[in-house]
Amino acid sequence: MKLSTIATVAVLSFASLSASASNVVFKAVDDNFETQACKIAAVDGMDAAKDFIEGNNQNYKRFVFSVFCNGMSITSFAKQYHVESSEDEAEQVIALVAENSNVESKLCMDAVVLGEDAARQKYGFENETVMCNFKPLKKFVKQYANRDVIVRPSAD
């Protein structure tokens, strides 16, 4: 990866140019790794971006210092666009839909409902590393703890 790589994410706003971060829709100009990381940082925050970067065997510190998103550092980009969870969000019902019907996806979905240990035991993944939406299973489950979640099977 070049040290001066620039990932471009086109930002479109539904409102005026001074729209708040919650009114921004991110459209990737291309599908390269750097662009994906920028989009994840803006939408899900730097923790999710770090999980994605490290989950793809990249050096996180080097990546953060060498990649720019729309002309700004990835951390500044995330700070500008990522909106932290609000208390109102905790009252909303979240629907989780498995991307596919493989055993790992089922494990991720069941872990949210049953708990990580019970789901690991159910599918025989006691000591294996499992990633759910570019996050380790433990972080994925923690993200939905104390939230009203509906789990749906995959669409395929």
pLDDT in tens, 102-127: 888 888 888 888 889 999 999 998 88
Predicted confidence band at 155 (pLDDT cuts at 50, 70, 90)? low
Mean pLDDT of the chain: 77
pLDDT in tens, 58-89: 999 999 999 998 888 898 888 888 876 544 44
- As a whole number of angstroms, the distance between CA 147 and CA 89 comes to 9
d(CA 140, CA 111): 9
Assign 151 a pLDDT band (cuts: 50, 70, 90). confident
Distance separating the N- and C-terminal Cα atoms of the chain = 35
Strand-pairing partners, residue 135, are: 132
pLDDT score of 145 more than 50: yes
Residues 3-23 have a mean pLDDT of 40
User: Does the pLDDT value for residue 149 go beyond 80?
Assistant: no
pTM (two decimals): 0.46
> What pLDDT score does 60 carry?
92
pLDDT at site 6? 45
Q: What is the pLDDT of residue 84?
A: 64
What pLDDT band is residue 13 in, cutting at 50, 70 and 90? very low
CA distance 42 to 26: 8
Residue among 130, 98, 95 nearest 116 (CA): 130
Supply the pLDDT for residue 5: 45
User: Is 15:25 a contact under the CB 8 Å cutoff?
Assistant: no
The winner for highest mean pLDDT among 4-8, 18-22, 50-54, 93-97 is 50-54
